[in-house]
Structures are given as structure tokens and as C-alpha cells.
Amino acid sequence: MSNFWPHENDAAEQLPARRRTPLVKVFDTDAAHDAFEAENSQSTRRETLNRLRTSGPDRTLTLIQPSMLDQLDCMVESQPNFAPVIDHLRRQLALCRLALPPVLQWAPLLLDGPPGIGKTFFARTLAEVLETEFAVINCSSVTASFVLGGNSPSWQGSRPGRVYEVLQGGSCANPIVLLDEVDKLSTDARFDGYGPLYQLLETGTAREFVDEHVGLPMDASHIVWIATSNNADALPGPIRSRFDVITVDGPSAKDLKAIAQSVYAGILAQNPGWSAAFRAKLPDHVLNRLAGMPPRSIRKRLIDAMGAAALQRKGRNRLVPDAGGTDSNNLNSRRSIGFLG
């Protein structure tokens, strides 16, 4: 199910020439049609099969572009504590560029480190840089294998698993799928949350992955896996061995200043009207305050401070948010707001 097909569908043809990609057959929609015809007309599985047979068998493959390596260098500037991860990815992407076609792929990657240091944000930003689809599976809430791999149609409320949903509902065969806090998956003997990963993290077996609800094989071998953990030692040995494990340290005060400036730039870029109202860069006294906060709190504090500054704006002065104190648990407290003309 992993043969490349010509770009003959409308979606592929609408892409710019440099982005046109080969297609890969992910689903057997003929088998889905046959199963649909044989299924009970009132079953939820029949509805699932109908969506599958009409969505088509093929998905595009994201290709590596030369500019992506340069963009990874920019990520080092904005998230310097992830430099070892980015060095690893640069080597992987260099190998991808030698392939024909240069398809985005690498061995499953595990980012291990303390909570709140930006691992999830890094993965999301990476997907944007690599121009591929992105999905998050929050493993701390996965209590059974069927969340990943579906459950039997005989169960009340049966539905497909997240892996099937990502591939069927998307247009890409090699999205980045983030297993967030993978060390918190349930290990209940009856419903081992790690169960489907034994197959999904191995390319050979992932080519014939069967979601229990759908009951038909799909090719999940192109998924680009990233996982995060706070304690990699908590993973079952066979699961951990399937990952390239990189330890990520918490950012230094200098790193946090760079992260805060990057987060601020991202906020302005996403809101063009705000860019006209606020100064392009944060002054040192604001950066110093933000450097005392965990990375996951910086964005919340900045937006809160920017809102307070906007309330006090007079005329057309370019605003500068003042992040106030360093108590990240007291985001709604009154604090001073500075703004400059």
C-alpha cells in the first residue's frame, strides 16, 4: 500500500509547482465500499466506512525544501535550548534531501525534559517550518488502547481511533503527530495504552495497521512521530527503544529572553492590527521580568499585559507591554503598564 501514484487529483494540482508532491495509497477504498455495502444500515461503522470510501485512497507526501534547513537555524534563535534537537533534525533532513523523492521522514523522536520548557510549542513550530499537517494526541488522557487504535463496533459508542482520524480527515500521509506526555499513557493490563504503538512506531508493521473500529488495514508508515516526556525511564523498554531520545534542558535566563522576544514577535505576526499599535521589540526591562517565568506562561502574560496597555492607550502612541511581576499564577493581578510614543 506504499506505492507512489501520479499527481492526478485536483488538490495536488492546485499546489504551487515547488509544492506538488507524490501521492501514496493510504486506504483501500474498494474494500471500504464492499464493507459498507455489507454493514448493518444502522451501525456507526457504516457511517465511518461511507466517509472513508468517499474521501479517496490517496494522500500527499510532504517533501523537503532547501529553505527548510535555513528556517531550522532561525528556530535555534527563538528556542536556543532545543539546539541539540535541531542539530539532530538537520542531519535527518539532509538525508531526506538525498532521497528520491525527498520525502519528509525520520525515526520516531522523543523529547525528554522537565515540564513547561516548550516541548509542545517546539513541535508545533517545527510542523509550520516543514509545511506539513500537525496533530496532537494528549497521552495523559489516553486511558486505553482504543483511543489510538479504535474499538470494536460491537461496543456502544464505538468510534475510530485518533491515528485513523488524522489520516482519513487530513490530506497528508506524513503529518507530524505529537504524542504529548507519552510517559503518562495508561499501562492497565486490560487496556494497555501503549498497545498500538508497538506496531505504529515500526515502519514495516505500520504499513498494515488496522483500526479496530474500521476493520480494514491502512498505511500509517509515513507518519512522522514526535513524543514528549518528563521521565523517559517510565516508558516500557520496547517502546523507548523505538525512539531516538534527546534530553532537552530548561532554558537559561538568556534563552528565556530570546524565547520571550520570539513569542512576542509571533503574537504580533498573527495579529496585523496589533503590529501597528505595539513596538516591534520588547525593551530589556520587560525581557528581564519575563526571563523569570516558565516558557509556557510567557505568552499568557504578554497577551494579558498587551490588553492592559491597549486599555490605557492615548492617541497613536506605540505601546510597550510591561509584564509586571513574575508570579505566573497571578495573571489577573493589577500591574503597571508602560507605553512609549
Map out the domains of the chain as residue ranges: 67-247, 252-341
- Of 138-142, 170-174, 278-282, 301-305, which gets the smallest average pLDDT? 138-142
User: Lowest-confidence range among 2-11, 33-42, 124-133, 183-192?
Assistant: 2-11
From 85, 87, 86, 105, select the one nearest 97 (Cα to Cα). 105
Biggest CA–CA distance in the chain, Å, is 71
Mean pLDDT of 227-242: 96
pLDDT at res. 187: 65
Instruction: Give the class (CATH, top level) of 67-247.
Output: alpha beta
pLDDT digits (tens, 9 = 90+) for 52-81: 999 999 999 999 998 898 889 888 888 899
Q: Is the pLDDT of residue 310 over 70?
A: yes
Q: Whole-model pTM?
A: 0.80
Cβ-based neighbours of 41, under 8 Å, separated by 6 or more: none
Going 330 to 332 to 334 to 339, the CA torsion angle's sign is: positive
Q: Higher model confidence: residue 170 or residue 294?
A: 170
Q: What is the pLDDT of residues 276-304, one digit of tens each?
A: 889 999 999 899 888 878 777 888 899 99
Q: Over range 187-213, report the average pLDDT.
A: 88
3-state secondary structure (DSSP) of residue 137: strand
Decide if pLDDT at 189 tops 80.
Answer: no
Find which of 18-27, 159-168, 184-193 is predicted with most confidence, using mean pLDDT: 159-168
E-only strand ranges, the chain: 4-5, 23-25, 58-60, 109-112, 134-138, 176-180, 209-210, 217-218, 224-229, 244-247
- Whether residue 249 has pLDDT greater than 80: yes
